C-alpha cells in the first residue's frame, strides 16, 4: 500500500516537473522573441551583410551606432529629470495616533508628517474631542518647525527624520 502511494506521488511530481519545465521553456522563447523584435536593425545587418561590401556594412553599422547614441543621450536626459523630480517627492513620513481627550478612547487624533529628502514638507495634526475636530497644518523646513510642538507632533517628526520612535 505504501509502495503504491509513493509511486503515485513520484508520478505526480514528475508531471509537475514537466509542466514547470514546459512553462520555463515557453517563457524563455517569448523573451528571445521580444529581444529579436526590439533589435531589427542588427538582424538586418547580420542577414543582409553577405550582399554588402565591408564599407557598406561599416556605414550602416555607424548609422545604427549613431542612432543608439542619440537614444542613450535622450534616456540620460530623461533620467536626470526623473532624479531631480524624485528629490522633491515626499518619501519620508511619520504618523502618530493618540487620544487627545481623556473621555474619548480609540486614538482618533493623529499627527502626520510628510517630507522630502531635504526634510522639507508639512506637518498635519488632527485633534478630535467631543466638541469637534480641529486640524492644523504647519510647514517643515529642513526637518524643523518654527512653532512649539505637541509631544506627538515631535514624535512624528522624529519618525519622518528616521530618528526612531
- Return the top range by mean pLDDT from 28-42, 62-76, 132-146: 132-146
Asked if 100 and 83 sit in the same domain, the reply is: no
Asked if 131 and 81 sit in the same domain, the reply is: no
Single residue among 53, 87, 121 that ends a domain in this structure: 87
pLDDT in tens, 86-116: 777 888 899 999 998 878 888 889 999 999 8
Asked if 104 and 150 sit in the same domain, the reply is: yes
For the chain, how many residues are written?
Answer: 165
Asked if 41 and 79 sit in the same domain, the reply is: yes
User: Dihedral of the CA atoms 90, 96, 97, 101 (nearest 10)?
Assistant: -120
- What is the per-residue pLDDT for 159? 93
pLDDT in tens, 131-161: 889 999 999 999 899 989 999 999 999 999 9
Asked if 83 and 96 sit in the same domain, the reply is: no
Q: How many CB atoms lie within 10 A of CB 124?
A: 17
- What is the per-residue pLDDT for 4? 60
Asked if 106 and 147 sit in the same domain, the reply is: yes
pLDDT in tens, 83-94: 887 777 888 899
- How far apart, in Å, do the first and last CA atoms of the chain sit? 60
Structure letter (DSSP) for residue 161: T
pTM: 0.53
Domain that holds residue 63: 36-87
Asked if 103 and 136 sit in the same domain, the reply is: yes
Amino acid at each position: 500500500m505504501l509502495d503504491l502511494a509513493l509511486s503515485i506521488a513520484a508520478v505526480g511530481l514528475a508531471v509537475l516537473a514537466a509542466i514547470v519545465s514546459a512553462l520555463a521553456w515557453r517563457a524563455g522563447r517569448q523573451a528571445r522573441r521580444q529581444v529579436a523584435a526590439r533589435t531589427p536593425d542588427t538582424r538586418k545587418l547580420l542577414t543582409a551583410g553577405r550582399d554588402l561590401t565591408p564599407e557598406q556594412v561599416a556605414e550602416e553599422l555607424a548609422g545604427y551606432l549613431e542612432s543608439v547614441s542619440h537614444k542613450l543621450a535622450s534616456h540620460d536626459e530623461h533620467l536626470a529629470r526623473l532624479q531631480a523630480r524624485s528629490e522633491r517627492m515626499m518619501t519620508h513620513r511619520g504618523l502618530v495616533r493618540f487620544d487627545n481627550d481623556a473621555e474619548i478612547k480609540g486614538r482618533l487624533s493623529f499627527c502626520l508628517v510628510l517630507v522630502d529628502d531635504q526634510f522639507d514638507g508639512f506637518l498635519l495634526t488632527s485633534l478630535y474631542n467631543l466638541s469637534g475636530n480641529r486640524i492644523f497644518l504647519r510647514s517643515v523646513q529642513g526637518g524643523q518647525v518654527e512653532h512649539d510642538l505637541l509631544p506627538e507632533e515631535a514624535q512624528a517628526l522624529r519618525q519622518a527624520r528616521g530618528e526612531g520612535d
